[in-house]
Amino acid sequence: MGMKYLNHKLLCILVLTLAVAAQAVAQTNPTTAQGFLERGNRFFNQGDYDRAIADYDQAIRLNPNFADVYNNRGNAYSDRGNYDRAIADYDQAIRLNPNHADAYYNRGSAYNDIGDYDRAIADYDQAIRLNPNDADAYVNRGIAYRAKGDNDRAIADYDQAIRLNPNDAFAYNNRGIVYYYKGDNDRAIADYDQAIRLSPNFAAAYVNRGIAFHDKGDNDRAIADFEAALRINPNHVDARRNLDILRR
pLDDT at 10 over 70: no
pLDDT of residue 24: 47
- In tens, the pLDDT along 146-195 reads 999 999 999 999 999 999 999 999 999 999 999 999 999 999 999 999 99
Tell if the pTM clears 0.75, that is, is over it. Answer: yes
What does the domain layout of the chain look like in residue ranges?
Answer: 16-132, 142-200, 203-248
pLDDT of residue 165: 97
pLDDT of residue 28: 65
Fold matches, 16-132 and 203-248: yes
Tell me, which fold does domain 16-132 have in CATH? 1.25.40
Long-range contacts (CB closer than 8 Å, 24 or more residues apart) made by 207-212? 207/1, 207/236, 207/238, 207/239, 207/242, 208/1, 208/173, 208/176, 208/177, 208/180, 209/176, 210/239, 210/242, 211/1, 211/180, 211/242, 212/176, 212/180, 212/185, 212/188
CATH 1.20.1070.10 fits 142-200, yes or no: no
Least confident window among 6-15, 72-81, 88-97: 6-15
What is the percent of the chain where pLDDT is above 70?
89
Query: Contact, 76 vs 67, CB < 8 A?
Result: no
CATH (one of 3.30.300.30, 1.25.40.10, 2.40.30.10, 1.20.1250.20) for 203-248: 1.25.40.10
Nearest CA to 204 among 228, 223, 181? 228
- In tens, the pLDDT along 198-232 reads 999 999 999 999 999 999 999 999 999 999 999 99
